[in-house]
Amino acid sequence: VGRRYPPLNALRGFEATARHGSFRDAADELCVTHSAISHQVKQLEDTLGVTLFERGPRQVALTEAGRAYYPVVGEALTKILDATEAV
């Protein structure tokens, strides 16, 4: 049985949202809608079976699980970007 990877777009949406503390700012950065980011993050949360953000009226905050996951995802995406630029 192979390993099941989370959707890459959902990881990008999660990382940008965590960095900005906002679905809207993450959406602007990634050139997608606020709703698309929200759905990507929800998809990732469903895949992982944990809540990554506590949602407020105008911002979001990482949960304990989100705070643990964010640096790992951020580092992995940075490595992918660095490798892509090196090619």
Q: What is the pTM of this model?
A: 0.91
Q: What is the pLDDT of residue 15?
A: 98
> What string of DSSP letters covers 19-78?
HHT-HHHHHHHHTS-HHHHHHHHHHHHHHHTS--EEE-SS-EEE-HHHHHHHHHHHHHHH
Per-residue tokens: 16: 């940008």
Q: What is the pLDDT of residue 28?
A: 97
C-alpha closest to that of 72 among 2, 31, 18, 7: 18
pLDDT, one tens digit per residue, over 7-62 is: 999 999 999 999 999 999 999 999 999 999 999 999 999 999 999 999 988 889 99
